[in-house]
Amino acid sequence: MNTKTSGKERVDPKRFGKVAVLFGGRSAEREISLMSGTAVLQALQRAGVDAHPFDPAQRELFELAREGFQRVFIALHGRYGEDGTVQGALELMGIPYTGSGVMASALCMDKVRTKMVWVACGLPTPKWRELHAHTDWAEVERALGLPLIVKPAREGSTLGLTKVVQADQLPEAYALAARYDAMVLAEEFVTGTELTAAFLGERALPLVRIEAPEGKYDYQNKYFSDDTKYFCPCGLPEAQEQAIQQMVMQASAALGCHGWGRADLIRRADGSVSLLEMNTSPGMTGHSLVPMAAKAAGIDFDDLVLRILEMSHVG
């Protein structure tokens, strides 16, 4: 399928058949997913696609097959939607879906194993330690230094994340993260410029530079604050931006990603860059970064949604 058509040369929306937009779900990111899915649904309907809402938290997933849906746009975030589980069910039903497949979705949702893959491929990512209830907190401090970040390994949107500035805060930070996921990691705190790098098919989109109030890009500042500033173009020299884009495409390929996604990165003062995580079902809200990057590349929101839908696949 051609994914490089301009917004004025969009495909016939009837070719997609009956489309379900999956949003809501059971993860801790349900609220954001509802926002993303609503925006996607409205864009598809504006384009003339026979698109319908579908919330897996309220309906049995196998109703998709019984009701004759021919494609699925996944606008779910977090577990039970972005982690390979829904993707596997859709493959069993033979229904094409957007985004990465089972393996890549599961890998990217697991920040620990994402890092393992990147390190094995020689790609830069901050040092880390997996945490448990009986972890030696002093050893974690020695290995990673202070401050450091503690977060759930399989959640997104900064949920359950703590910046630890004193070693005695580690047990409490671990307990908070463990409310969201049994797997918890501590990560080296890297200072620098926050960047995000989206891709669409084989194309890297322009980088977005983020400036959050007091440097705190948390759940509130990500989705609900108008004080967070975004810069696209990001302001880096072209050669440096292209080098980062190339690294992100390598990072995506190493994980087996497909269709679209977004990497989060930190650029240190010395110009070196570290990969933080890969998102296989990024946000599509009014504050979201993939639409922002696409717009800078000349792709409006409705065209972006159609292009993602075009790249639907099974497995």
Give the active site residues: 29, 157, 223, 262, 264, 277, 279, 283
Rounded Cα–Cα distance for residues 140 and 129 (Å): 7
Strands 128-131 and 184-188: antiparallel
Segment 230-233 long-range contacts (CB within 8 Å, at least 24 positions apart): 230/289, 230/292, 232/206, 232/207, 232/208, 232/292, 232/293, 232/295, 232/296, 233/206, 233/207, 233/296
Residues recorded for the chain: 315
CB 304 within 8 A of CB 290: yes
Tokens of 101: 């497949």
Rounded Cα–Cα distance for residues 12 and 49 (Å): 9
Residue type, 5: T
Mention every residue, 6+ apart, whose C-beta is less than 8 A from residue 293: 196, 197, 198, 205, 206, 207, 208, 232
Mention every residue, 6+ apart, whose C-beta is less than 8 A from residue 114: 107, 108, 125, 255, 277, 278
Rounded Cα–Cα distance for residues 271 and 256 (Å): 27
